[in-house]
Amino acid sequence: MTTATAVGSRPEINPWVRFAVRRLSRLVVSVLALLSAAFLMIHLIPGDPVRSALGPAAPKSLVDAQRESLGLNDPLWEQYLHFLQHLFTGNLGTSITTGLPVSDVIRDRLPATVQLAVAAFLVAVLIALPVGLAMGVLTRAGRRPRAELGFTSTSVVLAAIPEFLLAVGLVYVFAVKLQWFPVAGRGNVASYVLPVLSLAIGPAAVLARICRVELLAVLQTDYLRTARAKRLPATAVYLRHALPNAVTATITLGGLLLGGMVAGTVLVENVFGWPGLGSTIVSSILAKDYPLVQGVVLVYGVGVLLVNLAVDVALALLDPRSTIRES
Amino acid sequence: MARRARWIAVLRTPVGAGAGVLLLAVLLLALFAPLLWSDQASAIDTEHLLEGTSSQHWLGTDSLGRDIFYRVLVASRTSIMLALLATALGVLAGLVLGTAPVLLGRRAGRLTTALVNIAVAFPGLLLALFFAVIFGVGAKGAVLAIGLAGAPAFARLTQTLVAGIAERDFVAAARIAGVGRFRILLRHILPNIAEPLVVNATIGAGGVLLAFAGLSFLGLGVQPPAYDWGRLMGESLNGIYVHPAAALAPGVAVVIAGLAFNLFGEAVAKGLGVPALVGPRLRTRTPETVPAAPVDDEAVLVVKDLRVSFPGPITPVRGVSFTIHKGEIVGVVGESGSGKSLTALAVAQLIEPPGQVEAAELSFLGAPLLGRLADRGSAATRRRLLGTSFAMVFQDPMTSFNPTKRIGVQLAEGAREHQGLSRRQAMARAVDRLRAVRVPAAGRRARQYPHEFSGGMRQRAMIGMGLMGAPALIVADEPTTALDVTVQRQVLRLLETIRETDDVAVLLISHDITVVAQVCDRVLVMYAGRIVEDLPASDLATGARHPYTRALLAAVPDLDTPLDEPLAVIPGRPVDPSAFPTGCAYRVRCEFVVESCSAKDPELVGADHRVACWNPQGRTVLGIESIRTGQR
């Protein structure tokens, strides 16, 4: 009887494959939840959304026609199926106020928002990582207590100012008083400076603080002591052993900030009259243009999920344990 | 009582007191401003429309000629009340969602947990906008929207807190006693998570305040004629060219109020948690004179009057002297807190600031280790000497390797640095060394990460790392404490083999006197930062003279130990290093105290067998024969 091989060895699944499967299935579940929430949103609105969109003065025939064209008279599950079906063909419905296809509006406005968010993210990371790491090294083990106090209090205050307030302040100082940059609108490079800064400064302050704390924690670890016991030069200890681990932990915690930055575009765009999705979502909520709201919410939601996915993948590449740890 | 004392302590710290006063001021303003200044805030002054700062209107007027300053003051109530309402709603909804796993049982609980996990991934503002669509534009809608948007985060927090409490013994006991789920939640769990929840809600209220301002700013929150800070900002944004104060003043108010909640919450969280340890600046003190010691050819390590101190001041190691010769295994034993590990770290030059190391002499292979070096060149020489000839093995193999680097790379690193090997040569040497410490399949293992190694394997690899150069001394700080007994023996035997084949000296730190007795040539017994006895290991069983050494030996159970009697222990507690008593530190626990014990700390005297005691005991200790005869 040679069943030993059949019984003894269970095929060993590559941890990367397992990670990919697990992470993708989580993405699928999240996307499904997002789709259902966006679909149900319209049905959870008290009263008749079409009536409230068109106003009390609109003739009943118009309301009925609009309801019919939106398919609101069908049974709920049928509407859900239609909704999903349309989504796969890229059909997000028609704006009630302008009559334009929602997908066209999104295609028109998405690039401005993505540019803003990506630029702000890069600026935030490029400020936060060097500043946070340098502060960590300089203030390790209670050195330079005054520098530490200054850094911590500055970053706390900067992080406490919401992006739209910061935007107003920046507009006042740099656009109204100094007139270095335009007050609003999207045009040349100069028009990007203030919106990007208002979006980046808060997260950068938080990220720099996290980064410093993480570095300090890494400096306390046993493996850093091991690195020192190898009598490596200080720069090698910091760059080779402390930095990668501090950055890994920073990304874990900073990932949430990134998602927040995507949402932050909504406020910043409204201050600067930025022609992106953020302005669209607010104006469409105010106009009760529900199909448009639904479409933009979906885009924002998917954006956040993709950002989270990117963070997880980056983590898995940087720290091989994280692929294992979850299981 | 204790809880109240801690809250008072929080209010005594500068940040806690400042934030507390600020928060109180903000709350009082919200309470009284509308009563006092409602009229001024709504008075329409058609003579002064959209005017700047004047003696009549401090911050100018809006488009209807209403005074901005009073409007900002009066808006505090609406802003703060709505923010608190939304926070309360968020905490409540979060509490319901977060305790669902306890209340509803496994399946329903898992479903809510999954939903919360999905929702938490989305930023609060996006959730708030989503709910704002459903609940409609306006103050009520915004409270519901922001409250529910905050719920997932609070649910996650509640889940974490509940999970921590639910595993405690008293909850398990209540469950076994048949107490209902709801009752367990109400009586046992909620009271224990209330404090962190309230603290986090306070911090959260600051964020909610800002979020609410954001929503109102966008025109989705408070609707005219009512107004809050966000609304005031939104209305005056277009006029920022002519009238910046109108847009900036409410913004400043929002930030101050938000900070008040935030800082107070943080201060409380910090105060109720672990006290922060902020050490003063490091000072490296160099000994005034390094006396030239008579050269001892065989001495690998010479330590004279070693002291380790920390700000406080605490001196956990005070005046330790010993010498380790070539190929000798010296054990250091003592209770935790006796200073044995610090001695090892100090000898290895691994004490981190603010810790401070002083010694009359500390030399390794004849080279002094303490003292500032004249130039970079000799610093590099010292580093190379330590990097190639001085090996360390740490207590916990699970945490002593860098988790993000392959084992082989971590071994090779030092050799590339100090021996000038190429990447490939260093890697080959690493594989060879792993083989030398009997790691099976060394070539494959070298390419693996630490988490793929077992504890025993990691400790072997750590020893292998020390063998990358040509070590003269291995300092092993409790190398087997984290390992199980069989693995422990293998690691000890490995150290012994290395000593025999390469004539390497070993300094073995352990709290386990039987381990030390098995493998060492000489034993140093430490108590309260000093060596109290230094004797050949062969004398340990029969010749220990210090009462503390004898008590340690008597506490070791063996096969003859009667099972129906309690195990022997050393009465009393180890001494607190921040308050050493005068005289001998052991006298409070010692049964052989004489008069001189309390007067002066005894010196460590003797030649081959040194004892620091005013009343050393005779040469027989009962019941410890087995330590050496049975196990060596």
DSSP A205-234: HHHHHHHHHHHHHHHTSHHHHHHHHTT--H
CA distance B119 to B148: 11
Interface test with B, best of A226, A274, A293 (most B CBs within 10 A): A226
Mean pLDDT, range B492-502, rounded to an integer: 86
pLDDT band at B290 (very low <50, low <70, confident <90, very high): very low
Is B512 in the same domain as B589?
no
Q: Which of B463, B464, B455, B509 lies closest to B485 in space, CA to CA?
A: B455
Is B516 in the same domain as B568?
no
SS3 B281: coil
**DSSP string of A148-188, one letter each residue:** HHHHHHHHHHHHHS-HHHHHHHHIIIIIIIS--S-SS---S
Peptide bond into B403 cis (omega under 30): no
Interface test with B, best of A41, A42, A164 (most B CBs within 10 A): A164
Domain-located, residue B474: yes
User: Could A260 and B125 be called an inter-chain contact, meaning their C-beta atoms sit closer than 8 Å?
Assistant: yes
Is B155 in the same domain as B240?
yes
Q: Would you tell me how many other CB atoms lie within 10 Å of the CB of residue A27? A: 16
Q: Hey, which of A17-31, B84-98, B569-583 has the most confident mean pLDDT?
A: B84-98
Domain-located, residue B534: no
User: Could B237 and A271 be called an inter-chain contact, meaning their C-beta atoms sit closer than 8 Å?
Assistant: yes
User: What does the block give as tokens for B492?
Assistant: 């000890």
A-chain CB neighbours of B390 within 8 Å are 231
CA distance B116 to A273: 34
Is B305 in the same domain as B213?
no
Q: What are A111-127's pLDDT values in tens digits? A: 989 989 889 988 988 89
Interface test with B, best of A41, A48, A121, A165 (most B CBs within 10 A): A165
CA distance B612 to B108: 67
pLDDT band at B332 (very low <50, low <70, confident <90, very high): very high
User: Could A226 and B401 be called an inter-chain contact, meaning their C-beta atoms sit closer than 8 Å?
Assistant: yes
User: What does the block give as tokens for A121?
Assistant: 């993210």
CA distance B242 to A207: 36
Asked if B276 reaches chain A (Cβ–Cβ under 8 Å), the answer is no
User: Could B251 and A266 be called an inter-chain contact, meaning their C-beta atoms sit closer than 8 Å?
Assistant: no
Of A44, A176, A223, the CB nearest to B240: A176
* Whole-number pLDDT of residue B278: 28
CA distance B160 to B192: 13
A-chain CB neighbours of B115 within 8 Å are 33
CB contact residues (below 8 A), chain A span 128-157, against chain B? 141-145, 156-157
Q: Which of B557, B561, B558, B531 lies closest to B546 in space, CA to CA?
A: B531
Domain-located, residue B246: yes
Domain-located, residue A81: no
CA distance A144 to A122: 29
Mean pLDDT, range A199-226, rounded to an integer: 87
Domain-located, residue B495: yes
Find the angle CA(B295)-CA(B299)-CA(B305) to the nearest 5 degrees.
85
Rg (Cα) of chain B, in Å, rounded? 34
Q: Hey, which of A83-87, B79-83, B372-376 has the most confident mean pLDDT?
A: B79-83
Of A41, A263, A304, the CB nearest to B133: A41
Mean pLDDT, range B290-312, rounded to an integer: 74
Q: Does the structure show a pLDDT above 80 at B412?
A: yes
* Whole-number pLDDT of residue A11: 58
Share of chain A above pLDDT 90, in %: 2
Is B459 in the same domain as B510?
yes
Quote the mean pLDDT of chain A: 82
| Nearest residue in chain A measured CA to CA from B386 | A231
Q: What are B167-194's pLDDT values in tens digits? A: 777 777 777 777 777 888 887 788 878 8
Per the structure, the complete domain to which residue A174 belongs is given by 107-290
Rg (Cα) of chain A, in Å, rounded? 25
SS3 A202: helix
Domain-located, residue A208: yes
Interface test with A, best of B404, B406, B423 (most A CBs within 10 A): B404
8 A C-beta contact, residue B389 and residue B469: yes
- Domain endpoint, select from B216, B240, B265: B265
pLDDT band at A320 (very low <50, low <70, confident <90, very high): low
pLDDT band at B507 (very low <50, low <70, confident <90, very high): very high
Q: Does the structure show a pLDDT above 80 at B293?
A: no
Lowest mean pLDDT among A81-90, A196-205, A224-233, B502-511: A81-90
Q: Which CATH number is B237's domain given?
A: 1.10.3720.10
Is B233 in the same domain as B353?
no
pLDDT band at B90 (very low <50, low <70, confident <90, very high): very high
Q: What are B516-532's pLDDT values in tens digits? A: 888 899 999 998 888 88
Asked if A245 reaches chain B (Cβ–Cβ under 8 Å), the answer is yes
Domain-located, residue B45: no
Of A172, A228, A281, the CB nearest to B129: A281
| Nearest residue in chain B measured CA to CA from A284 | B133
Is B515 in the same domain as B543?
no
CA torsion A154→B203→A267→B140, rounded to 10°? -150
B-chain CB neighbours of A230 within 8 Å are 387, 413-414, 417, 465
**DSSP string of A76-138, one letter each residue:** HHHHHHHHHHHHHTT---B-TTT--BHHHHHHHHHHHHHHHHHHHHHHHHHHHHHHHHHHHHH
First to last CA, chain B: 56
Is B404 in the same domain as B500?
yes
Q: What are B227-262's pLDDT values in tens digits? A: 888 888 888 777 777 777 777 888 888 888 888 888
User: What does the block give as tokens for A205?
Assistant: 């302050």
CA distance B565 to B555: 13
Encoded amino acid at B161, one letter: L
Is B383 in the same domain as B482?
yes
CA distance A298 to A292: 10
CA distance B420 to A172: 59
User: What does the block give as tokens for A140?
Assistant: 């390790």
Q: Would you tell me how many other CB atoms lie within 10 Å of the CB of residue B463? A: 26
* Whole-number pLDDT of residue B297: 64
User: What does the block give as tokens for A24?
Assistant: 């993708």
Q: Which of A91, A26, A15 lies closest to A306 in space, CA to CA?
A: A26
* Whole-number pLDDT of residue B628: 41
Helix H, strand E, coil C: the string for B300-356 is EEEEEEEEEEECCCEEEEEEEEEEEECCCEEEEECCCCCCHHHHHHHHCCCCCCCCE
pLDDT band at B627 (very low <50, low <70, confident <90, very high): very low
> Is residue B629 packed enough to be buried (19+ CB in 10 Å), middle (13-18) or exposed (0-12)?
exposed
Is B333 in the same domain as B260?
no
Mean pLDDT, range B289-297, rounded to an integer: 47
Q: Does the structure show a pLDDT above 60 at A294?
A: yes
Domain-located, residue B571: yes
* Whole-number pLDDT of residue B237: 77
Domain count, chain A: 1
Q: What is the DSSP letter of B219?
A: T
Asked if A271 reaches chain B (Cβ–Cβ under 8 Å), the answer is yes
> Is residue B393 packed enough to be buried (19+ CB in 10 Å), middle (13-18) or exposed (0-12)?
buried
* Whole-number pLDDT of residue B285: 37
| Nearest residue in chain B measured CA to CA from A293 | B133
Of B121, B384, B404, the CB nearest to A308: B121
> Is residue B13 packed enough to be buried (19+ CB in 10 Å), middle (13-18) or exposed (0-12)?
middle
Q: Does the structure show a pLDDT above 50 at B621?
A: no
| Contacting residues for B608 by C-beta, under 8 A, at least 6 apart | B535, B536
Beta pairing partners, B605:
B611
Per the structure, the complete domain to which residue B227 belongs is given by 77-265
Domain-located, residue B272: no
pLDDT band at B88 (very low <50, low <70, confident <90, very high): very high
CB contact residues (below 8 A), chain B span 166-225, against chain A? 206, 210-211, 213-214, 217-220
Q: Does the structure show a pLDDT above 90 at B164?
A: no
DSSP element (H, E) containing B535: strand B530-536
- Domain endpoint, select from B487, B520, B553: B520
pLDDT band at A12 (very low <50, low <70, confident <90, very high): low
Of A30, A225, A293, the CB nearest to B350: A225
Quote the mean pLDDT of chain B: 80
Mean pLDDT, range B22-39, rounded to an integer: 85
Q: Does the structure show a pLDDT above 60 at A2?
A: no
Domain count, chain B: 3
Q: What are B418-446's pLDDT values in tens digits? A: 888 888 999 999 998 898 888 888 889 99
**Closest-CA distance of chain B to residue A1, Å:** 30
Mean pLDDT, range A49-66, rounded to an integer: 79
Greatest pairwise CA separation for chain A in angstroms: 90
Q: Which CATH number is A274's domain given?
A: 1.10.3720.10
Q: Does the structure show a pLDDT above 90 at B89?
A: yes
Q: Where are the alpha helices (DSSP H) in B437-559?
A: 442-445, 455-466, 485-502, 513-519, 537-543, 547-554
